[in-house]
């Protein structure tokens, strides 16, 4: 007797199943099954299940678990439906789309029943309730409903054998034992998962003794006497036959108003764009035209004319709306067509970029044009695309979050009631391992815990089986799918963000089905650039076209040579700063280089590159062709395009073939490497090259194949880096205003940017209720601290306060309290006082706080009492230490109340410096300065002696200091973080940064200066 499981839910159901698709299919094959079905409540895993079945030569049935309205109000029936043929699959996509929102109606089911097989899950249906209540008429109505609304309908066998006997002959019965976990011993895993997902306990599974994936003979024993129903399950499977198409591309057509083809329209736009780009430029225009025509011919031959028009259209719309579109991303920047259409801002010929790296006629894949947009404008452009092509043709993409080690352990512990020290020890140990199973096998700490504690053993064994399972469905961070007709012809959908649908298939599944995915990425740095440029125009009337700024600006490269890269896209990390300092940049190409070099793999060559750059190491080339290609990068392959160029120039590969070679050798498969070597040497010798040199160059390609970076991407992102560096070097006040405003709410980042502001010579001044806004507002040569940076003040409160201020500045403390009594509560007023925002009214903070309630009370009398009738007494200020704490409590750090203020008289009396007053004139001189010691990092020298790096700072500037071993041994016990010190030492410059070589320290923290 044959049988096929038709009632399997995988972990894509996210309701308690721990079944992983690959394991399920492999187990089914080992059990001798020839067919297999899954019936999750959504189609999330359908494509992966289909592919896994095909790989293991087993027939896949794509099924779905539906809720359908009942014969009576407020009742529903659970139905398992399967695609019998292609029409059925098409209807299944639509049924899944509706059921993701609510139970289906009878009408919706009947309208989409063609090619669909349906099985009623008896124990979750009205028919079983009617049987229990002996309602024969209802049973007959249900059977009639089944026959009317389904082309082919069945009722599943129940756990109640008497019901099965009663229904036998009245309706076709089929065996559908529920499968919710792989093996019998996984029952406890399912129970824990169901509680994690809050699945209701009254579900039928609470009464099923075994819901594991069983063999055929187990099913025969379970449903003894119902052989026909068991056989029917297999017959249903045998009758189903669908094929998913992974070979056809489904591109939408761009709506062209004129009566011209997409090919001609694209060509006309591209040539027009080229003429505009090359206007008044001294270049070989024929070279550009030839390259453009070649690219257009490739695009046309691959059928991608509409694709480029679609992207061109929404980029054009974005720019018309004043949205700053990124200069390019990924290999799309290698396309001259993209440049001419305005999709990118990178001249692929000027930067020697290879089109085939983007679109290879010898490897047919969809082009991949990802768009960078300001993160506050991204959604606007997506809505435009949605409205242009229609709600049903544009969709967001689903993605899935999984249980990671810590979340699997924490969630399992919560269900099992494990907490305290035991749980914390287990969580801590996960930091040393990539997954729980490895931790169990390799950690003696964990092994001892499991031996000593049955609770720990149970927790870890269950959590290890949960780790990696799907935990929740989410939305792809950037991807959008666009189709030429209804999305549900290709994928089921469900409600998503921005009043859009979201696919039930993941991005890779959608792309394998030939659908067009476009990534709209929100880049915070573009938002910052846009705001800086807008602020410059508002404040100075100077209009800056960021696309046209000169790439040879002297101030920009001076800033980069000083390594003042805080806030600059891609150039902020410590390792990158070291590389920039070593590079001593002089041109745009240097930025392109560092972005490519500072990557895993290429960074292994940084030391060699720097030595060769400064002629400290020689370069030899095995052949003059390599010298021509690699001379710009000092004999090192940095870019993938260089591998392509070497294969093309030396061995006669077409650029398309060369790209295939690059991809092949980068995988480091031994058989592939030897095959490609033979091919390379054969092609090279056909070009008249020496065999030995050919092998040497091939080895060179293999060595660097993993290291090469996409040059097109590096050039495009270098432009964003340069834009930010240019704005910082030439408009530091506006740059730092926007950057610091963007991190309000993050105390550490705001503090860092405040220091950077002072480093740039832009002083931050106190907040003021009369002059502050929600951002770091430019004010003369300074920036005014924002109201939004003060705790307890939100956007709405600030908006109301600024609206009141439009009626006139606040003249006195009493006037301010009186006019804002309906806007600000006592806690907000206290925060403003502690932050110094009311200092301009001439009273001490203590005086305003002590009399705040009294002033608030009198101000409620309105016009009956004027401020002349109320006298505010000024009293002595809080002690310094208390002021320091109060400011820190509302700003998050001390900015205007600084520990050095307590020593100001001492500093002035002895004519001492502070970190912010150190300048180039102090280089190589002995100085005395006062600063707060904010960090101490001790290291051990090669001679095994301790030395330390310290940071001394005031409210404006951080200054690095070095205590060499002899000095540090003397002062080691004196160095206390957070104390104020008088420092003696010599100022030096290292890699563009000033530092002091400390010779003595004296603790002033306990000194009453």
CA distance to 315, 374, 493, per residue, from 712 (Å): 19, 21, 35
Average pLDDT of the segment spanning 260-266: 96
Please list, in sequence order, all residues whose beta carbon lies within 8 angstroms of the beta carbon of residue 239, skipping any fewer than 6 positions away: 84, 117
Dihedral of CA 274/277/280/283: which sign?
A: negative
pLDDT at position 1008 is: 44
Query: Which percentage of the chain shows pLDDT scores above 70?
Result: 98
Listed range (176-185, 205-214, 282-291) with the worst mean pLDDT: 205-214
For residues 120 and 67, what is the distance between their CA atoms, to the nearest angstrom?
10
Two structure tokens written together for 1: 């007797």
> Is a pLDDT exceeding 90 seen at residue 488?
yes
Average pLDDT of the segment spanning 154-177: 91
- List, for residues 63-81, the tens digit of each pLDDT value: 999 999 988 888 889 999 9
CB 182 within 8 A of CB 11: no
Two structure tokens written together for 582: 């070593």
Dihedral of CA 116/121/124/125: which sign?
A: positive
- List, for residues 23-36, the tens digit of each pLDDT value: 999 999 999 999 99
> Is a pLDDT exceeding 80 seen at residue 862?
no
In the structure, how many helices (H) and strands (E) does the chain have? 42, 20
> Is a pLDDT exceeding 80 seen at residue 53?
yes
Phi (first) and psi of residue 535, to 5 degrees: -65, -40
For residues 406 and 408, what is the distance between their CA atoms, to the nearest angstrom?
5
> Is a pLDDT exceeding 80 seen at residue 382?
yes
For residues 413 and 426, what is the distance between their CA atoms, to the nearest angstrom?
11
Tell me 115's DSSP state: T
> Is a pLDDT exceeding 60 seen at residue 144?
yes
Listed range (731-745, 755-769, 776-790) with the worst mean pLDDT: 755-769
- List, for residues 494-547, the tens digit of each pLDDT value: 999 999 999 999 999 999 999 999 999 999 999 999 999 999 999 999 999 999
> Is a pLDDT exceeding 90 seen at residue 3?
yes
pLDDT at position 866 is: 59
Q: Which residue do the tokens 């894949």 mark?
A: 365
- In terms of DSSP H, where are the helices of 956-999? 965-971
pLDDT at position 558 is: 96
Tell me 71's DSSP state: S
> Is a pLDDT exceeding 90 seen at residue 82?
yes
Please list, in sequence order, all residues whose beta carbon lies within 8 angstroms of the beta carbon of residue 438, skipping any fewer than 6 positions away: none
> Is a pLDDT exceeding 80 seen at residue 208?
no
Domain boundaries, the chain: 11-239, 405-467, 542-721, 760-891, 901-1003
pLDDT at position 603 is: 86
DSSP string, 516-554: EEEEEEEEHHHHHHHHHHHHHHHHH-----GGGS-TT-H
> Is a pLDDT exceeding 90 seen at residue 699?
no
Angle of helix 574-583 versus helix 606-613 axis, rounded to 10: 20
For residues 423 and 411, what is the distance between their CA atoms, to the nearest angstrom?
11
pTM of the full predicted structure? 0.85
Burial classification of residue 30, based on how many CB atoms lie within 10 Å of its CB (0-12 exposed, 13-18 middle, 19 or more buried): exposed
Nearest Cα to Cα of residue 39 among 98, 118, 135, 101 = 118
For residues 934 and 752, what is the distance between their CA atoms, to the nearest angstrom?
13
Query: Which percentage of the chain shows pLDDT scores above 90?
Result: 72
Select from 1.20.1080.10, 3.90.1310.10, 3.30.360.10, 2.40.50.140 the CATH code of 901-1003. 2.40.50.140
CA distance to 948, 954, 994, per residue, from 915 (Å): 19, 6, 10
pLDDT at position 761 is: 86
Please list, in sequence order, all residues whose beta carbon lies within 8 angstroms of the beta carbon of residue 163, skipping any fewer than 6 positions away: 122, 128, 131
- What per-residue string of b and e applies to 654-671 under the rule 16 or more CB within 10 Å gives b? ebbbbbbbbebbbeeeee
pLDDT at position 203 is: 47
**Other C-beta atoms within 10 Å of 1007: how many?**
12
pLDDT at position 1007 is: 53
Q: Is 985 helix (H, G, I), strand (E, B) or coil?
A: strand
For residues 322 and 320, what is the distance between their CA atoms, to the nearest angstrom?
5
> Is a pLDDT exceeding 70 seen at residue 776?
yes
CB 772 within 8 A of CB 765: no
CATH architecture of 11-239: Alpha-Beta Barrel (3.20)
Two structure tokens written together for 512: 């394998």
Q: Is 891 helix (H, G, I), strand (E, B) or coil?
A: helix
For residues 672 and 665, what is the distance between their CA atoms, to the nearest angstrom?
7
pLDDT at position 897 is: 82
Average pLDDT of the segment spanning 617-631: 88
Average pLDDT of the segment spanning 163-189: 92
Two structure tokens written together for 540: 């100075």
Average pLDDT of the segment spanning 67-96: 93
Tell me 947's DSSP state: E
CATH architecture of 760-891: Orthogonal Bundle (1.10)
């Amino acid at each position: 007797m044959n049988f096929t499981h038709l009632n399997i839910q995988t972990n894509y159901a996210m309701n308690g199943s721990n079944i992983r698709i690959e394991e399920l299919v492999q187990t089914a094959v080992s059990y001798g099954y020839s067919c297999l079905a899954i019936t999750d409540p959504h189609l999330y895993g359908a494509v992966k299940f289909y592919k896994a079945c095909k790989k293991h030569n087993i027939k896949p049935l794509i099924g779905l678990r539906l809720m359908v309205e009942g014969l009576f109000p407020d009742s529903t029936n659970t139905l398992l439906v399967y695609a019998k043929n292609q029409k059925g699959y098409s209807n299944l996509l639509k049924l899944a789309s509706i059921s993701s929102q609510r139970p289906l109606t009878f009408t919706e089911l009947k309208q989409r029943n063609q090619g669909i097989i349906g099985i009623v899950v008896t124990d979750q249906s009205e028919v079983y309730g009617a049987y229990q209540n002996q309602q024969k008429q209802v049973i007959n109505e249900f059977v009639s409903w089944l026959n009317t609304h389904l082309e082919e309908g069945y009722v599943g066998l129940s756990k109640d054998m008497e019901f099965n006997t009663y229904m036998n002959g009245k309706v076709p019965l089929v065996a559908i034992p529920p499968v919710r976990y792989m093996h019998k011993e996984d029952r406890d895993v399912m129970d824990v998962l169901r509680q994690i997902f809050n699945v209701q306990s009254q579900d039928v599974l609470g009464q099923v003794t075994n819901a594991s994936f069983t063999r055929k003979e187990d099913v025969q024993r379970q449903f003894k006497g119902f052989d026909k129903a068991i056989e029917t399950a297999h017959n249903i499977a045998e009758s189903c036959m669908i094929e998913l198409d992974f070979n056809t591309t489904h591109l939408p057509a761009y709506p062209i108003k004129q009566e011209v083809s997409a090919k001609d329209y694209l060509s006309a736009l591209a040539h027009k764009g080229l003429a505009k780009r090359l206007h008044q430029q001294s270049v070989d225009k024929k070279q550009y035209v030839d390259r453009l025509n070649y690219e257009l011919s490739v695009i046309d031959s691959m059928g991608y004319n509409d694709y480029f028009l679609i992207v061109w259209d929404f980029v054009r719309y974005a720019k018309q709306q004043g949205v700053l579109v990124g200069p390019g991303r990924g290999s799309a920047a290698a396309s001259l067509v993209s440049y001419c259409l305005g999709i990118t801002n990178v001249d692929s010929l000027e930067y020697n970029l290879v089109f085939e790296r983007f679109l290879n006629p010898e490897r047919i894949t969809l082009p991949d044009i990802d768009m960078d947009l300001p993160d506050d404008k991204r959604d606007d452009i997506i809505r435009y695309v949605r409205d242009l092509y229609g709600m049903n043709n544009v969709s967001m993409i689903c993605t899935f979050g999984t249980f990671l080690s810590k979340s699997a352990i924490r969630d399992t512990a919560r269900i099992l009631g494990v907490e305290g020290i035991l749980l914390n020890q287990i969580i801590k140990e996960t930091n040393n391992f990539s997954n729980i199973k490895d931790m169990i096998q390799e950690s003696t700490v964990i092994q001892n815990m499991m031996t000593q504690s049955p609770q720990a053993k149970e927790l870890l064994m269950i959590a290890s089986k949960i780790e990696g399972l799907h935990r929740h469905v989410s939305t792809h961070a950037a991807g959008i799918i666009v189709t030429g007709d209804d999305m549900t012809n290709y994928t089921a959908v469900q409600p998503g963000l921005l009043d859009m649908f979201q696919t039930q298939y993941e991005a890779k599944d959608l792309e394998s089905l030939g659908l067009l995915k476009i990534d709209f990425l929100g880049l915070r740095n573009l938002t910052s650039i846009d705001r800086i440029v807008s602020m410059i125009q508002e404040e100075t009337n100077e209009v800056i076209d960021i696309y046209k700024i000169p790439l040879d600006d002297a101030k920009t490269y001076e800033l980069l040579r000083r390594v003042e890269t805080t806030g600059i896209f891609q150039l902020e990390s410590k390792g990158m700063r070291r590389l920039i300092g070593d590079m001593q940049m002089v041109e745009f190409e240097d930025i392109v280089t560092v972005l490519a070099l500072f990557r895993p793999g290429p960074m292994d060559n940084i030391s060699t590159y720097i030595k060769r750059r400064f002629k400290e190491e020689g370069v030899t080339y095995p052949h003059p062709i390599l010298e021509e290609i690699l001379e710009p990068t000092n004999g090192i392959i940095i870019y993938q395009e260089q591998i392509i160029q070497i294969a093309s120039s030396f061995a006669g590969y077409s650029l398309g073939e060369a790209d295939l070679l690059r991809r092949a050798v980068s995988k480091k498969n031994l058989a592939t490497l030897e095959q490609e070597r033979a091919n390379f040497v054969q092609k090279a010798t056909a070009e008249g090259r020496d065999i030995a040199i050919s092998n040497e160059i091939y080895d060179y390609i293999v060595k660097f194949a993993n290291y090469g970076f996409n040059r097109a991407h590096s050039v495009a992102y270098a432009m964003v880096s340069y834009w930010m560096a240019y704005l910082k070097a030439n408009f530091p006040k506006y740059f730092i205003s926007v950057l610091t405003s963007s991190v309000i709410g993050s105390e550490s980042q705001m503090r860092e940017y405040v220091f950077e502001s002072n480093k740039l010579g832009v002083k931050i001044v106190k907040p003021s209720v009369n002059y502050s806004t929600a951002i770091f507002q430019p004010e003369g040569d300074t920036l005014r601290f924002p109201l939004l940076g003060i705790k307890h003040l939100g956007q709405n409160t600030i908006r109301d306060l600024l609206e009141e201020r439009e009626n006139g500045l606040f003249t006195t403390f009493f006037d301010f309290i009186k006019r804002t009594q309906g806007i600000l509560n006592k806690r907000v007023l206290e925060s403003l006082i502690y932050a110094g925002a009311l200092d301009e009214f001439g009273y001490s903070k203590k005086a305003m706080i002590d009399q705040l309630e009294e002033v608030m009370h009198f101000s409620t009398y309105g016009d009956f009492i004027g401020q002349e009738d109320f006298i505010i007494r000024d009293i002595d200020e809080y002690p310094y230490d208390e002021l320091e704490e109060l400011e820190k409590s509302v700003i998050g750090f001390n900015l205007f109340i600084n520990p050095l203020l307590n020593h100001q008289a001492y500093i002035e009396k002895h004519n001492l410096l502070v970190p912010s007053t150190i300048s180039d004139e102090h280089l190589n001189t002995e100085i005395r300065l006062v600063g707060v010691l904010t960090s101490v990092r001790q290291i051990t020298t090669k001679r095994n002696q301790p030395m330390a790096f310290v940071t001394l700072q005031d409210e404006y500037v951080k200054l690095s200091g070095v205590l060499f071993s002899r000095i540090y041994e003397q002062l080691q016990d004196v160095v206390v973080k957070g104390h104020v010190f008088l420092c003696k030492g010599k100022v030096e410059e290292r890699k563009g940064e000033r530092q002091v070589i400390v010779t003595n320290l004296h603790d002033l923290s306990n000194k009453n200066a």
